[in-house]
């Protein structure tokens, strides 16, 4: 420590004192939880033994029930205290890794002295409930992210509070060691950010809690609106902002929201593994992670074309046709389980005809399903009285009777035999009601093919038709996040917006990274969600933090970036792009081997980084692997990114990821012609690089790079 710096000495002393308190909290909570667990177990045993069940009379029954209620209340109290202590211990353990990362000095009122507020990944108070560290999601922490010295403000409980920010200090802290501090005012002087940008790639995405910039913070702390559409340039931190937004929502809605009510759609499985440590590092659970294929499979449509290329016109045609749809007997199927027909197609047809007067839609489905469940109940009740099914139930051995029916059948009581047989039938045909609710009685494929005059339905068409008919998808989702939204077709987004009709959406993407034909433009995306959710707030992220100025200069020339784009400067000097056009595969292979050897040599030293050879498609990836004698692995979707070394990835799989060095081995005029799509693909490939990009071609290099 530099003892000549009084601020450093003072801040280290504060850190030492706080760290000592955190260690004390940890030890006390650990001991208390262990003690309370043993005490609770002993108390509950004692109280249970004191209860003497007596239901002989009204007074005795009331006393027994009161005693049981008292025991339940004690159990609830123990559980609540246990949960509180476990949550506090979780926060303490999180803070022991880094107690805080910033401090603001705020003058709350002109006539009062300023006070220091320390900001960390979690909030903690002392025994007197005085804040020691405030959570970065706490409203007062907004003064740090505003990056405005002097008069600033934050919103608490819907009210704007204006304060004077006298000091904004950042810390480089690891456990109880203060390595450095920085007093900063505006983004370009953000020392923590600049330090972070100098670091090499890691195999997992890291939280940006300490380095959230002002424009990012506006997205993270944005009002809870039906739909927020974020259009951000490459390297602007869209994915990190999305994860911080999830953590922010979980914090502010902790009493009513859990991670299982948040759905996150990601580009691929590699990307899912890349981000899976961010939220746990902030003390929050991961949301429900999906790719489009995962979603389709969960909805029972995974055995067909996934519908990623289905045109929106097909879905609009279904919308137009649904009003005049007539369901015939041929469109129905019986409810059958284990070769037993529970409801015939004819019986279902009579119910359908009865309710079809309402038109085919949600009301029709609700009425039809209700009556089909009633008929199923009557059918099972009739079967329970039949000799055949009663004999089957009584034919179960004793062990099966206890396991399935809960008791041994009393063969002397005919009413009991019928009741037990019904329980047996309910067990055998437990899935029949679910089949009714899933509309398995409706031949959706047949109906949809007739409406569209097609021989097959894609997953997108099938799911949309189901939504039009039943009017619901899921009601348990509160928030849906879609990363790389520019890669979704209009039809896919129409399905998701309707399926999650009651959820709020955060849509993030870059219109310049739409790397395949037929995807929705940002205007189309906005129009789709305005139709289903009404309000769509649009935000922009215009600063790139990933790439060096040298790399940024390459990809920014490929597309129109706009005059308002700001480029973040990094202290670590980037390397000038390397280019090479070769006449034969052998020359290309030799150049690639040179790059691979250099990357591996760095990985063995103290400059470890990850080099990615980004090929345009899978065929090109395996061609490059063969040129390199299969010495460099092709990353597969079930694998995770390595921390260092060299890997071959396809452009599709590289989406959303970043690498120290990106090598584009097929930057030739054939692979990347002068077309809008090729420009976006090359922009995407180059912008994966943090520090260096190498452009190789076999034959003439693409004119896009001239």
Point out which residues pair with 532 in neighbouring strands: none
Binding-site residues from annotation: 232-239
Q: How many CB atoms neighbour CB 321 within 10 A? A: 17
pLDDT tier at 326, thresholds 50, 70, 90? very high
Record the tokens describing residue 150, joined without a space: 């002097």
Enclosing H/E stretch for 95:
helix 58-97
Record the tokens describing residue 286, joined without a space: 């991961």
Query: Are residue 9 and residue 142 in the same domain, yes or no?
Result: yes
pLDDT tier at 187, thresholds 50, 70, 90? very low
Q: How many CB atoms neighbour CB 699 within 10 A? A: 14
Phi then psi dihedrals of residue 634, to 5 deg? -90, 125
Quick one: pLDDT at residue 552? Answer: 87
Quick one: pLDDT at residue 445? Answer: 95
Residues 100-155: tens digit of each pLDDT: 999 999 999 988 999 999 999 999 999 899 999 999 999 999 999 988 889 999 99
Q: What percent of the chain has pLDDT over 70?
A: 88
pLDDT over threshold 50, residue 188: no
Asked whether 513 and 489 are in contact (CB, 8 A), the reply is: no
Residue 195 inside a domain? The answer is yes
Residue 548 inside a domain? The answer is no
Quick one: pLDDT at residue 349? Answer: 95
Quick one: pLDDT at residue 402? Answer: 76
Residue ending a domain, among 541, 562, 594, is 541
Instruction: Give the range of the structural domain holding residue 342, as residue numbers without chain letter.
Output: 328-441
Query: Are residue 163 and residue 14 in the same domain, yes or no?
Result: yes
Q: Work out how many domains the chain is built from and give that number.
A: 4
Quick one: pLDDT at residue 347? Answer: 96
Query: Are residue 531 and residue 492 in the same domain, yes or no?
Result: yes
Q: Taking the model in full, what pTM does it have?
A: 0.86
Mean pLDDT of the chain, nearest integer: 88
State the average pLDDT over residues 211-239: 92
Quick one: pLDDT at residue 607? Answer: 66
Quick one: pLDDT at residue 198? Answer: 56
pLDDT tier at 197, thresholds 50, 70, 90? low
33 or 348: which carries more pLDDT confidence? Answer: 348
Query: Are residue 479 and residue 468 in the same domain, yes or no?
Result: yes
Quick one: pLDDT at residue 591? Answer: 97
pLDDT over threshold 80, residue 176: yes
Residues 433-466: tens digit of each pLDDT: 999 998 999 999 999 999 999 999 999 999 999 9
Query: Are residue 364 and residue 477 in the same domain, yes or no?
Result: no
622 or 148: which carries more pLDDT confidence? Answer: 622
pLDDT tier at 157, thresholds 50, 70, 90? confident
Tokens 């007093």 -> residue = 183
Q: What is the CATH number of the domain that holds 617?
A: 3.40.50.300
Query: Are residue 267 and residue 177 in the same domain, yes or no?
Result: no
Asked whether 629 and 592 are in contact (CB, 8 A), the reply is: no
Binding-site residues from annotation for ATP: 232-239
pLDDT over threshold 60, residue 570: no
395 DSSP assignment: T
pLDDT over threshold 50, residue 377: yes
Residue 547 inside a domain? The answer is no
Query: Are residue 163 and residue 102 in the same domain, yes or no?
Result: yes
pLDDT over threshold 50, residue 569: no
Asked whether 36 and 85 are in contact (CB, 8 A), the reply is: yes
Length of the chain as a residue count: 706
Quick one: pLDDT at residue 193? Answer: 63
Residues 44-88: tens digit of each pLDDT: 666 556 556 555 555 555 665 565 566 566 666 667 767 788 889
Contacts of 482 (CB under 8 A, 6+ apart): 265, 488, 493, 496, 505, 506, 507, 508, 509
Residue 551 inside a domain? The answer is no
Kindly report which listed range (277-281, 452-456, 478-482) carries the lowest average pLDDT score: 277-281
Q: What percent of the chain has pLDDT over 90?
A: 66
Query: Are residue 120 and residue 50 in the same domain, yes or no?
Result: yes
Residue 3 inside a domain? The answer is yes
Quick one: pLDDT at residue 71? Answer: 54
Residue ending a domain, among 515, 541, 567, is 541
Query: Are residue 58 and residue 181 in the same domain, yes or no?
Result: yes
Query: Are residue 199 and residue 231 in the same domain, yes or no?
Result: no
Residue 566 inside a domain? The answer is no
Residue 558 inside a domain? The answer is no
Residue 51 inside a domain? The answer is yes
pLDDT over threshold 90, residue 585: yes
Record the tokens describing residue 434, joined without a space: 């679910």
Spatial distance between the Cα atoms of 277 and 293, rounded to a whole number of angstroms: 22
Query: Are residue 294 and residue 346 in the same domain, yes or no?
Result: no
Residues 161-170: tens digit of each pLDDT: 999 999 999 9
């Amino acid at each position: 420590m530099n003892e000549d710096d009084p601020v450093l000495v003072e801040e280290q002393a504060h850190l030492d004192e706080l760290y000592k308190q955190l260690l004390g909290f940890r030890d006390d909570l650990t001991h208390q939880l262990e003690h309370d667990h043993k005490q609770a177990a002993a108390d509950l045993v004692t109280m249970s033994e004191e209860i003497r069940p007596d239901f002989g009379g009204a007074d005795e029954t009331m006393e027994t029930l009161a005693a049981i209620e008292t025991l339940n209340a004690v159990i609830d109290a123990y559980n609540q205290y246990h949960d509180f202590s476990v949550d506090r211990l979780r926060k303490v353990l999180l803070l022991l890794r880094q107690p805080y990362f910033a401090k603001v000095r705020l003058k709350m009122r002109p006539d009062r002295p300023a006070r220091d507020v320390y900001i960390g990944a979690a909030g903690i108070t002392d025994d007197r409930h005085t804040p020691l560290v405030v959570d970065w999601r706490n409203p007062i922490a907004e003064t740090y992210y505003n990056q405005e010295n002097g008069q600033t403000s934050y919103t608490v409980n819907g009210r704007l509070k204006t304060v004077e920010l006298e000091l904004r200090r950042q810390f480089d802290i690891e456990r109880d060691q203060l390595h450095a501090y920085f007093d900063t005012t505006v983004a370009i002087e953000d020392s923590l950010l600049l330090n972070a940008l100098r670091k090499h790639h890691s195999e997992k995405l890291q939280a940006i809690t300490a380095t959230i910039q002002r424009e990012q913070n506006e997205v993270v702390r944005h009002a809870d609106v039906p739909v927020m559409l974020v259009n951000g340039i490459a390297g602007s931190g869209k994915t990190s902002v999305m994860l911080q937004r999830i953590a922010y929502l979980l914090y502010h809605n902790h009493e009513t929201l859990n991670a299982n009510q948040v759905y996150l759609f990601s580009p691929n499985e590699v990307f899912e593994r890349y981000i899976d440590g961010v939220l746990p590092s902030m003390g929050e659970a991961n949301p429900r992670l999906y790719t489009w294929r995962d979603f389709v499979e969960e909805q029972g449509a995974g055995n067909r074309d996934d519908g990623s290329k289905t045109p929106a016109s097909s879905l609009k045609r279904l919308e137009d046709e649904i009003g005049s749809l007539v369901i015939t007997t041929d469109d129905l199927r019986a409810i059958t389980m284990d070769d037993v027909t529970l409801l015939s197609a004819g019986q279902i047809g009579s119910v359908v005809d009865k309710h079809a007067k309402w038109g085919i839609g949600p009301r029709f489905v609700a009425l039809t399903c209700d009556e089909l469940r009633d008929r199923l109940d009557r059918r099972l009740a009739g079967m329970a009285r039949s000799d055949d099914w009663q004999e089957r139930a009584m034919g179960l051995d004793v062990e099966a009777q206890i396991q399935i029916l809960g008791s041994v059948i009393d063969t002397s009581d005919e009413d009991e035999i019928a009741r037990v047989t019904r329980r047996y039938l309910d067990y055998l045909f437990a899935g029949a009601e679910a089949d009714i609710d899933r509309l398995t009685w409706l031949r959706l494929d047949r109906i949809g093919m007739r409406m569209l005059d097609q021989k097959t339905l894609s997953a997108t068409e099938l799911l949309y038709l189901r939504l039009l008919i039943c009017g619901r998808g899921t009601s348990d989702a509160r928030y849906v996040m879609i990363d790389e939204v520019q890669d979704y077709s209009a039809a896919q987004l129409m399905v998701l917006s309707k399926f999650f009709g009651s959820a709020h959406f955060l849509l993030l993407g870059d219109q310049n990274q739409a790397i395949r034909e037929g995807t929705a433009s940002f205007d189309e995306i906005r129009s789709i969600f305005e139709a289903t959710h009404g309000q769509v707030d649009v935000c922009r992220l215009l600063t790139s933090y990933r790439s060096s100025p040298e790399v940024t200069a390459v990809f920014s020339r490929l597309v129109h970036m706009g005059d308002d784009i700001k480029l973040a400067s990094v202290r670590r000097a980037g390397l000038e792009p390397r280019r090479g056009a070769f006449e034969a595969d052998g020359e290309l292979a030799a150049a690639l081997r040179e790059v691979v050897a250099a990357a591996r040599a760095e990985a063995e030293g103290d400059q470890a980084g990850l080099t990615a050879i980004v090929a345009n498609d899978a065929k090109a990836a395996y061609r490059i692997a063969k040129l390199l004698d299969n010495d460099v692995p092709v990353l597969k979707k079930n694998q995770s990114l390595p921390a260092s070394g060299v890997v071959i990835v396809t452009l599709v799989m590289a989406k959303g990821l970043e690498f120290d060095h990106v090598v584009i081995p097929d930057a030739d005029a054939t692979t990347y012609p002068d077309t809008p799509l090729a420009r976006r693909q090359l922009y995407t490939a180059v912008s994966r690089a943090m520090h260096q990009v190498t452009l190789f071609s076999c034959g003439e290099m693409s004119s896009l790079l001239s």
